[in-house]
């Protein structure tokens, strides 16, 4: 018979706005680093404690976190307050108007002084939330809303481009977790929706949380006293609609999303008898075969010439940055085929594979599955449908990011996510069957966790 539990929760917020001048990320070819701050960006922490398990859920207005930063943050949290790494979830909103906190070729360089401060701020906010724990209640809701569109547009010639595919799958809802104090007043509202925060396009050089920031501000204004937290869903093939718009467009989409969150939150019934669990598993995803040495050498020669030609013509940063990034990928490919070694971002379980973390948290009847990549929405919908939990939230961009994880059916159609984006993240693309491997491992992790609850 399970032990009687009484939930405690604490929340805290840290301003993680970078200094003007840092490189931004998410888009290649920006004309400069950040020239100003449109709106501050934040890390927000919810610590939950049922008397047996303690969990920390962190959301940040960032594109993603590099794996070394994930480890540093988790290790510091464990050293400070004893919450083990597998109980710490680090979710990024995937804003494309934030500082470079993940190393992507040609998409901005990390400011190491800034990320050192970032690590300490997130760990410090987690300790603050831990120290603020109070009697609490928790509940879940889901309501219909859609601010994005499937972006894998198929042309008449058979090619797939980044565009608009109105018939493509989306996740047309927002998931909401409300955490109340003992008096029933919200202290935290966590919500998740799947849509790339790219309302502000690559020409924007002002730091911003994009549409999630507007949504969170609206929720916090209406639900006075609460901390609004956004966790990005699996939006690997879903863009905001529009892309490359204005701050007014971002405000409009954020308002639509925020209003849906408020409506759902007000209908949620919260309870204090909540059992907490957390599990994490690293799986090995197979990678496609590398090029032949001669092919890699030819690519290096080609991209070296393209970069030299750009510089000779006096081309500025936007084009040379991207060309340098592609050259670095070709050079890394050549090194890989001459001296085989594991895929760079993580130390995989074995050569020829990519390590991929699947984390699952159980908050009473609510499960959160966190995936370490730009996962296509189909995979999230399948995990949700097969989950043994009554309610399941599936996040991408959590605990780092290995790059795009398309579903198997997408591979024959190619396109940016399948055929080229991996060159910014690593060296080799995943094999098509990885989506089934992730789905099965996630459902198994959830099932085993629920059996032990």
**Token pair recorded at residue 138:** 């928790």
Which of 62, 30, 259 minimizes the C-alpha distance to 143? Answer: 259
Please indicate, yes or no, if residue 382 is contained in any of the structural domains.
Answer: no
Contact 165, 151 (CB under 8 A): yes
Contact 417, 404 (CB under 8 A): yes
Please indicate, yes or no, if residue 78 is contained in any of the structural domains.
Answer: yes
Contacts of 187 (CB under 8 A, 6+ apart): 9, 11, 134, 136, 179, 180, 181, 225, 226, 227
Contacts of 275 (CB under 8 A, 6+ apart): 2, 5, 50, 52, 53, 362, 364, 453
Q: 205 and 237: one domain?
A: yes
pLDDT tens, position by position, 317-335: 888 888 999 999 999 999 9
pLDDT tens, position by position, 66-77: 999 999 999 999
On the 0-12 / 13-18 / 19+ scale of CB atoms within 10 A, 83 is buried
Residue 192, Ramachandran bin (φ over 0: left; ψ between -120 and 50: alpha; else beta): beta
User: For the residues of 404-431, what is the DSSP string, one character each?
Assistant: EE--GGGGGG--HHHHTTHHHH-SSPBP
Q: 133 and 267: one domain?
A: yes
Q: 333 and 227: one domain?
A: no
How many alpha carbons lie under 13 Å from residue 190 in its C-beta half-sphere?
32
Does residue 3 register a pLDDT over 50? no
- Longest Cα pair distance anywhere in the chain, in angstroms? 74
Q: pLDDT band at residue 339, thresholds of 50, 70 and 90?
A: confident
Rounded Cα gap, residues 381 and 359, in angstroms: 17
Please indicate, yes or no, if residue 157 is contained in any of the structural domains.
Answer: yes
Domain count, the chain: 2
Please indicate, yes or no, if residue 284 is contained in any of the structural domains.
Answer: no
Does residue 165 register a pLDDT over 90? yes
pLDDT tens, position by position, 386-416: 999 999 999 999 999 999 999 999 999 999 9
**Token pair recorded at residue 265:** 């939150």
pLDDT at 349: 43
**CB-CB neighbours of 4 under 10 Å:** 9
Please indicate, yes or no, if residue 407 is contained in any of the structural domains.
Answer: no
Q: 130 and 205: one domain?
A: yes
Q: 271 and 299: one domain?
A: no
Among 338, 355, 376, give the residue marking a domain's end.
338
**Domain enclosing residue 318, as ranges:** 291-338
Q: 297 and 201: one domain?
A: no
Please indicate, yes or no, if residue 126 is contained in any of the structural domains.
Answer: yes
pLDDT tens, position by position, 80-97: 999 999 999 999 999 999
Q: 253 and 297: one domain?
A: no
Q: Give pTM, 2 decimals.
A: 0.95
On the 0-12 / 13-18 / 19+ scale of CB atoms within 10 A, 386 is middle
Among 302, 321, 338, give the residue marking a domain's end.
338
pLDDT tens, position by position, 99-120: 999 999 999 999 999 999 999 9
Rounded Cα gap, residues 112 and 431, in angstroms: 33
Q: 128 and 180: one domain?
A: yes
Please indicate, yes or no, if residue 120 is contained in any of the structural domains.
Answer: yes
Q: 193 and 327: one domain?
A: no
Q: 199 and 304: one domain?
A: no
Contacts of 195 (CB under 8 A, 6+ apart): 147, 148, 211, 233, 235, 238, 239, 240, 241
Among 240, 275, 310, give the residue marking a domain's end.
275
How many helices (DSSP H) and strands (DSSP E) are in the chain? Answer: 10, 20
Please indicate, yes or no, if residue 177 is contained in any of the structural domains.
Answer: yes
Rounded Cα gap, residues 320 and 313, in angstroms: 11
Q: 216 and 305: one domain?
A: no
Which of 180, 198, 202 minimizes the C-alpha distance to 134? Answer: 180
Q: 317 and 265: one domain?
A: no
């Amino acid at each position: 018979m399970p032990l009687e539990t009484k939930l405690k929760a604490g929340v805290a917020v840290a301003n993680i706005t970078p200094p003007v001048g840092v490189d931004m990320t998410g888009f290649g070819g920006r004309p400069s680093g950040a020239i100003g701050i449109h709106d501050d960006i934040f890390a927000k922490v919810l610590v939950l404690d049922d008397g047996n398990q303690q969990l920390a859920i962190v959301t940040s207005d960032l594109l993603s976190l590099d794996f070394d930063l994930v480890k540093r943050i988790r290790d510091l949290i464990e050293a400070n307050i004893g919450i083990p790494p597998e109980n710490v979830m680090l979710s990024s909103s995937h804003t494309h108007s934030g500082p470079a906190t993940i190393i992507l070729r040609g998409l901005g360089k990390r400011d190491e002084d800034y990320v050192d401060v970032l690590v300490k701020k997130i760990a410090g906010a987690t300790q603050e939330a831990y120290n603020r724990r109070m009697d609490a209640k928790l509940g879940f809701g889901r309501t219909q809303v859609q601010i994005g569109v499937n972006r894998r547009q198929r042309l008449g010639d058979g090619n797939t481009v980044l565009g608009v595919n109105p018939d493509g799958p989306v996740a047309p809802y927002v998931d909401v977790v409300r955490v109340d104090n003992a008096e029933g007043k919200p202290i935290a509202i966590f919500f998740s929706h799947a849509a790339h925060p790219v309302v502000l396009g690559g020409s924007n050089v002002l730091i911003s949380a994009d549409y999630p920031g507007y949504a969170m501000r609206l929720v916090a204004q209406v639900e006075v006293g609460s901390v609004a937290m956004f966790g990005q869903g699996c939006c690997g093939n879903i863009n905001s609609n529009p892309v490359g718009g204005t701050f007014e467009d971002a405000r409009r989409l954020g308002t639509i999303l925020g209003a849906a969150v408020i409506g759902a939150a007000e209908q949620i019934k919260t309870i204090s008898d909540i059992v907490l669990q957390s599990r994490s598993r690293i799986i090995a995803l197979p990678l496609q075969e590398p090029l032949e040495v001669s092919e890699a050498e030819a690519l290096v020669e080609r991209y070296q010439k393209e970069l030299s030609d750009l510089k000779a013509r006096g081309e500025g940063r936007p084009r040379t940055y991207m060309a340098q990034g592609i050259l670095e990928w070709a050079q890394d490919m050549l090194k890989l085929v001459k001296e085989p070694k594991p895929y760079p971002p993580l130390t995989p379980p074995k050569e020829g594979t990519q390590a991929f973390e699947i984390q699952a948290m159980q908050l009473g009847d609510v499960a959160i599955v966190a995936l370490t990549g730009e996962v296509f929405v189909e995979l999230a919908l399948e995990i949700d449908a097969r989950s043994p939990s009554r309610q399941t939230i599936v996040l991408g961009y959590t605990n780092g990011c290995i790059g795009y994880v398309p579903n198997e059916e997408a591979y024959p159609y190619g396109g940016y996510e399948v055929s080229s984006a991996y060159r910014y993240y690593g060296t080799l693309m995943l094999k098509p069957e990885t989506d089934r491997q992730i789905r099965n491992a996630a459902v198994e992790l959830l099932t085993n966790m629920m059996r032990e609850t």
